[in-house]
A and B are shown apart, each in its own frame.
Chain A
Amino acid sequence: MNPLKVDRIFKQYGDKTAVNGISFEVGEGEIYGLLGGNGAGKTTTMRMVLGLIYPDGGSIQYHGKPYSAEQLRGLGYLPEERGLYAKVKVSDQILYLAQLRGMSRKDADANLKRWLDRFGVPEYYGKRVEELSKGNQQKIQFIAAVIHQPKIIIMDEAFSGLDPVNVELLKGTVKELRDSGTTILFSTHRMEHVEELCRNITILHKSNPVLQGNLKAIKKQFPRERVKLHTDGDVSGLEAIGGVLRVDRRENGYELLIDREEAARPILELALAQTNVQRFEVMEPTLNEIFIKTVGESHE
């Protein structure tokens, strides 16, 4: 039984369909990626999972049970836009939110101190949120989402507005949560984060799930059509090989676009005949390419 099961949920605002029948399941210790452009329906989907709004159709099950106030309290939520009291001390508001989620003040206090230590900012305990930088506010926001040790966490644009050091810090923390068995629903624009973290994904486009499934399997569906070729000297005649669509000169070699994987072999052979080959790789499509391709295609 997967902790989070979303079954054909559907939401309409007036005449406009915001989410059109999305289904997915997230297992224990899994990070599930929800991708999509602006206005694709990610946030609406997440809000439905959170119980902030109710789906017009379909169902959501938490640990096999339908929506209830008790279930909702067990969720952790990291909203896209920051949601903290600017003028309230960090300790006061985190403890408040933890208590509302049914935690004792004492336990929450211990947890908060542990998390602040974990992020290396124990001195923020008594500070007001408005005194902190944006990145540090984000850390506090993150703590607010995990303070009550939720089994299911929903993260909307978890790493937006952070510098690379803090992105790594939070990413590491998210991975730890995953490894300790937490179920995480995750949305972002940053494809490299999805590739690094997620096992399964759904790409939403204009309210519809357009691509869904295991990330590796999805990648396999897409032809490998980029070839990286690093050589000592120049190679001529690459354009003439059948199946090569485009050749781009790079700093230390070439990048080629092919229309079928069989075209890769003659490229390597031609290169070896002319010079030393440092690197040759038929590249997997990146999620970025898949995303643009999927979303772009349905435009047409």
Chain B
Amino acid sequence: MSNSFWTVVGFTVRNKFRGKAFVITTLVIALILSIGINLPYIIQKFSSDDNEAVSIGYLQKTEDMLKSSTFNNATLAQALNKHFEASPEPALKLVPFQETGTPQGDEKALKQAIDDGKIKGYIEFQAGATGAFPDGFPDVVYKSEKLMDTNVTESLAGALQAVKTEMVLQDSNLSQAKRDLLLAQVDVQTLQITTTAGAGNVGEGKTSSEQAMDMGLVYVILILLVMAIMVTGQMIASEITAEKSSRVMEILITSVAPVTSMFGKIFGMFLVGLAQMLVFVGVILLNMALPHNREPLADLNIRLADIDPVLLVYALVFYLMGYFLFATLFAAVGSLVSRTEDLGQAVMPITVVSLIGFYVCMFGGLSNPDTTVMKVFSFIPLFSPYAMVVRLGLANPAAWEVWVSIGLLLITILVAGWLSARIYRAGVLMYGKRPTIKELRKAMKAYKV
């Protein structure tokens, strides 16, 4: 019995690994992942020319139009240039233009400069509504051909803000220490606390990095689970249908108990799926470890050591149970269909249920893990593998809730496994149109599994 189980597992795994389709799919996905991870670097490589500071023109007026010794065209432009030069990657550079004498002439000269590509646009300072310094600051107009040139305007606004602050401070009599205090950013740190000893985070506070890792882990588990269910489940169903339509099934059933062959296939596919995931994870880690990709990794503050081991264990438990529950259902449906063409339609209900669980958790649960919907979902066996993992990672469900959920899931797996095995046993020899539930029940009675 156990011998034939491993024979089925071995055969399933071997055939998948040898199949061209599987190898090619895996390679293609690995390639896409690699490209995705390297994309920021690649884009950076291609656009390195644009990395130079954008030139912006301004008029160097002899007359102090703004009637302020602190804020005029020259001082502002100088201060701006000084500000940009001080930053490691200057975004803008201000280029002076001499007055022509008439406003029309000035405008023509500046437009000509834009047309020649010398500057991207030009900046004008006008007397502000608030009046002259020390009570006012000039209005700033940036003129360019582009619509919504936010890159430049944001850089300008940021720089002007800094310049203004600096100038005002210079004018005041604040001590250096006060100025530093004023300019220092206020940093709010978050620390998660728990009021009750829940199952997920065992009553310990979490730093923001740990919280981020929890969120990341939940995210990854959700995606891995939905992928495992969709891809591997489909493979299980289609393999069984193929065996049925090629009538290999008739020979198989006389050689090996249907339950053994079904669970052998499910387990074999699980190993195949796992190997595929490992390849993908390996590709991701390898790419992230490349020297040019290290920086973004560090920027994202990803530290594997911050993963909560309790959460990881729970997540794996729910992942495995979710996989096996859906896999048995896919196997049962696969055994009912005679032709591979009909399979897509037949597995639709399972696919939809799986996707509902996924989407609800992904787009509702991640931001609001404590809603009633999530609480209810975390007890419904087909949804709980998604929902409870979200709650474990991001909320703080009580231990009894988690264990009730696990218990319900286990019972469902056993019932579904038993039922699927019987459907499988009866279904694999029913050809022609898909059997009705009545026909199936009759057929199931005829077989001792």
The answer, yes or no, to whether A142 is at the interface (CB within 8 Å) is: no
**Chain B, range 425-449, C-beta contacts under 8 Å to A:** 429, 442, 446-448
Q: Nearest-CB distance from A44 to chain B (Å)?
A: 11
What residues of A have a CB within 8 angstroms of the CB of B248 in the complex? 83-85, 93
In the complex, per-residue mask of A47-63: 1 if CB is within 8 Å of any chain B CB, else 0: 10011111010000000
Complex Cα gap A5–B251 (Å): 21
Q: Nearest-CB distance from A288 to chain B (Å)?
A: 29
State whether B255 touches A73 (Cβ < 8 A).
yes
Q: Nearest-CB distance from B431 to chain A (Å)?
A: 10
**Chain A, range 71-97, C-beta contacts under 8 Å to B:** 72-73, 75, 77, 79, 81-88, 92-93, 96-97
In the complex, per-residue mask of B244-277: 1 if CB is within 8 Å of any chain A CB, else 0: 0011111111111100000000000000000000
What residues of A have a CB within 8 angstroms of the CB of B247 in the complex? 79, 81-83
Q: Nearest-CB distance from A123 to chain B (Å)?
A: 19
Most buried by A among B15, B243, B252: B15
Given contacts A53-B429, A92-B14, contact A100 B8 (CB under 8 A): yes
What residue of chain A has the Cβ atom nearest to residue B431's Cβ? A81
What residue of chain A has the Cβ atom nearest to residue B7's Cβ? A99
What residues of A have a CB within 8 angstroms of the CB of B442 in the complex? 14
Complex Cα gap A99–B9 (Å): 12
The answer, yes or no, to whether B101 is at the interface (CB within 8 Å) is: no
Given contacts A81-B247, A86-B246, A99-B7, contact A52 B15 (CB under 8 A): no
The answer, yes or no, to whether A273 is at the interface (CB within 8 Å) is: no
The answer, yes or no, to whether B126 is at the interface (CB within 8 Å) is: no
Interface size, chain B (Cβ < 8 Å): 27
Q: Nearest-CB distance from A37 to chain B (Å)?
A: 20
Interface size, chain A (Cβ < 8 Å): 31
The answer, yes or no, to whether B359 is at the interface (CB within 8 Å) is: no
Q: Interface residues of B: mostly helix, strand, loop or mixed? A: helix
The answer, yes or no, to whether B418 is at the interface (CB within 8 Å) is: no
State whether B7 touches A96 (Cβ < 8 A).
yes
State whether A54 touches B255 (Cβ < 8 A).
no
The answer, yes or no, to whether A1 is at the interface (CB within 8 Å) is: no
Complex Cα gap A44–B247 (Å): 15
What residues of B have a CB within 8 angstroms of the CB of A75 in the complex? 254
In the complex, per-residue mask of B227-253: 1 if CB is within 8 Å of any chain A CB, else 0: 000000000000000110011111111
Complex Cα gap A51–B254 (Å): 7
Q: Nearest-CB distance from B289 to chain A (Å)?
A: 37
Given contacts A53-B429, A83-B246, A83-B247, contact A100 B256 (CB under 8 A): yes
State whether A84 touches B246 (Cβ < 8 A).
yes
The answer, yes or no, to whether B4 is at the interface (CB within 8 Å) is: yes
Most buried by A among B251, B442, B447, B448: B251
What residues of A have a CB within 8 angstroms of the CB of B242 in the complex? 85
The answer, yes or no, to whether A69 is at the interface (CB within 8 Å) is: yes
The answer, yes or no, to whether A144 is at the interface (CB within 8 Å) is: yes
State whether A100 touches B446 (Cβ < 8 A).
no
The answer, yes or no, to whether B11 is at the interface (CB within 8 Å) is: yes
The answer, yes or no, to whether A219 is at the interface (CB within 8 Å) is: no
Q: Nearest-CB distance from A179 to chain B (Å)?
A: 25
Q: Nearest-CB distance from A229 to chain B (Å)?
A: 49
State whether B446 touches A53 (Cβ < 8 A).
yes
Complex Cα gap A50–B246 (Å): 18
The answer, yes or no, to whether B19 is at the interface (CB within 8 Å) is: yes
Complex Cα gap A86–B242 (Å): 10
Complex Cα gap A72–B254 (Å): 6
What residues of A have a CB within 8 angstroms of the CB of B8 in the complex? 100
State whether B429 touches A52 (Cβ < 8 A).
yes
What residues of A have a CB within 8 angstroms of the CB of B3 in the complex? 102
Complex Cα gap A79–B254 (Å): 11
The answer, yes or no, to whether A101 is at the interface (CB within 8 Å) is: yes
In the complex, per-residue mask of B11-54: 1 if CB is within 8 Å of any chain A CB, else 0: 10011000100000000000000000000000000000000000
Beyond known contacts A14-B442, A53-B429: 19 more, CB 8 A cutoff: A47-B429, A50-B254, A52-B429, A54-B448, A77-B251, A77-B254, A82-B246, A83-B247, A83-B248, A83-B250, A83-B251, A85-B15, A85-B242, A85-B246, A88-B15, A97-B252, A100-B7, A100-B8, A144-B251
Seen from chain A, the residues whose Cβ lies within 8 Å of a Cβ on chain B are 14, 47, 50-54, 56, 69, 72-73, 75, 77, 79, 81-88, 92-93, 96-97, 99-102, 144
A-B contact pairs, 27 of them (CB 8 A): A14-B442, A50-B254, A52-B250, A53-B429, A54-B446, A54-B447, A72-B255, A73-B254, A77-B251, A79-B251, A83-B247, A83-B248, A83-B251, A85-B242, A85-B246, A92-B11, A92-B14, A97-B252, A97-B255, A99-B7, A100-B4, A100-B7, A100-B8, A100-B252, A100-B255, A100-B256, A102-B3
